Every structure is written in structure tokens, then in C-alpha cells.
Amino acid sequence: MLRLKKRHFSVDMDKDAYWFIIPFFILTFLFIILPIIANIFLSFTNYNIMKMEWVGLSNYKFLFEDKRLWKSLWNTLIFTIFNLPICMVLGLMLALIMKRGLFGHTFFQAGIYIPYIISMVSASMIWIFMMEPLNGLFNTILKAMGLKGIKWLYSTDTAMISVIITSVWKNMGYFMVIFLSGLQSIPSYVYEAARIDGSGAINTFFKITLPLLRPTTFFLFITGFNNNFRVFEQVKVMTGGGPENSTTTIVHQIYSRAFSDMKLGYAAAEAILLLLIVSTITLINFKYSNQGEDLEAI
């Protein structure tokens, strides 16, 4: 019977270790914890750079009456519901194709990933030109086919769809790469055992691949959800929140209230609301996702 020897660390070694982690805690306090504390304080004030007035819970009471805020929350939810699943599905499909190692897969993999590494502002400008109503690429193609052009970014019916299309195009390469790394970490003997048992491709995908990709899927869902609820750049550049607030999001509203309306105290209250929403959803997912359990197949 093997006996594990306990490791004893000296007190001096423990003290030395603290010197390596202290800088991390200092930076975390200065750039994360301290701003959150300052934001909480500002949310109880009527602050507009020129003056600061304590207003108590007035900002939080107005949150429930602000129709623009609830419209932005609804738009953010719609954006997340459509953008995140599409990115995950397309990313997984592309990862499965790339894993097969077909001819030229490295070239296509790089081409699909490149949009992710360019800035969102640059990507948004590219799509603005392509979606331009008069001479844009998309409407030029539609007119050549004898169809009527679409007011992509200037109609309440298509503006949000246009923003989602841009976001999917830019981010699906990231999802592909992460899913691909997850697929490559699955042991080959698992698939060999499935083939010996006569498992078909569809059955193998749903009974083996998807369950073993659960940690990767969970990671992409949590990070993707947080990023989608913080969507801002493409909305600001492509539509400015319009037309008729049809694409404004919660972060765009925080920006507008703070720097257009100069209501920094109320914007701080909106930021606290966003923090609570994202934190709650994340904690719920961590609680009910059964993460940390060992997978018996591995």
C-alpha cells in the first residue's frame, strides 16, 4: 500500500510566496475593487462633474420608471439570445470541420479567426460600408437580382439583425478555436471504443463529443454571456442606439446617461444594476452546471 508523505513548508517559504502575489492583489484592489466601491458611492449621488449632491435611493427608484433603460435591457437580452447560440453553434460546426484535417483547413481556419483579432470599431466600419442603403455591397447584389434594397441600419426591423450579423462574423472564429482545442483534448481511444461498439456518427456526437465538451461549452457560455451583456462598440459605431432606440443596449445607455446627459450618478446606478444581473446569472450557472465533476470516460 502506497503511503503519501506530507509536505511541510517552512514559514520562511510561505512568507516569500506572499511577495509574489501581493502585486496582483494591489492591482486588483486599485483597478477593480476600488472603482466598484467608488461607483457604489456615486450611485447615491447626483454627480455631474460640476457638483455632487447626495440623493440617497432616488437613482435606484428612477431605474424602475426609466423606459429607455428597460428598452435597453430588452434589446441586450434579444442580442444575447440570438448572438450567443449562433456563435456557439457555428463555432462548434467549424471546429468539427477543421478537426477532420481537410485540404487547406489551416488557411480557412486562419481566415475565419482573423476577424476576431481586428478591433470591433474596424469590423463595424467594414459592415457599415457593406450595408450602406444606396451603394452598399449587399443592396447592390440584391438590386442585381431584381430585388428591393434593404435599409439595414436605418430600419427598426433590421437594425438589430444587422448588429447581430456583424457580431457573429467577428466572434465565431474565437468560438471555433476554443471548441477545436476542446475537441483535440478528447482522447482518441474513446472514439475507437465507440467505433468498436458500432456507434454511428450522430450517436457518437451526442453521447460522447457533446458530454466531453461540457467544460468547454460552459466556459464559452459564461464568457460569451458576460461579453454579450456588455456589448457596446458595434452599437455605438453602427447605429448609435437607433433608430428609435431599437438597438440601444444597457452599456450604451450607461454611456449615454454619463457622457451625453451628464448624469454620472444615475449612470453609476445603472452600472450597479448590470453588475447584479451578470453576477446573478453567472452564479446560477456555476451552481447548476455541475462543474468540477470528473468525467468517467476520461
Single out the residue of 250, 258, 256, 253 nearest to residue 275, CA to CA. 250
Tell me the CATH number of domain 63-288, given options 1.10.3720.10, 3.20.20.105, 3.30.1490.440, 3.20.20.70. Answer: 1.10.3720.10
Q: What is the enclosing helix (H) or strand (E) of 54?
A: strand 52-54
pLDDT (0 to 100) of residue 100: 83
pLDDT (0 to 100) of residue 2: 42
Low-confidence ranges of the chain (pLDDT < 70): 1-14, 289-298
Q: In whole angstroms, what is the distance from residue 223 CA to residue 226 CA? A: 5
List, by residue range, all CATH 1.10.3720.10 domains of the chain.
63-288
Sequence-separated (6 or more) residues with CB below 8 Å from residue 110: none
Q: In whole angstroms, what is the distance from residue 75 CA to residue 49 CA? A: 29
Global confidence as pTM:
0.84
Single out the residue of 279, 84, 249 nearest to residue 174, CA to CA. 84
Which residues are 52's β-sheet partners?
47
Sequence-separated (6 or more) residues with CB below 8 Å from residue 144: none
Sequence-separated (6 or more) residues with CB below 8 Å from residue 270: 63, 69, 250, 253, 254, 257
Evaluate whether 269 touches 288 at the Cβ level (below 8 Å): no
Evaluate whether 244 touches 156 at the Cβ level (below 8 Å): yes
3-class secondary structure, 130: helix
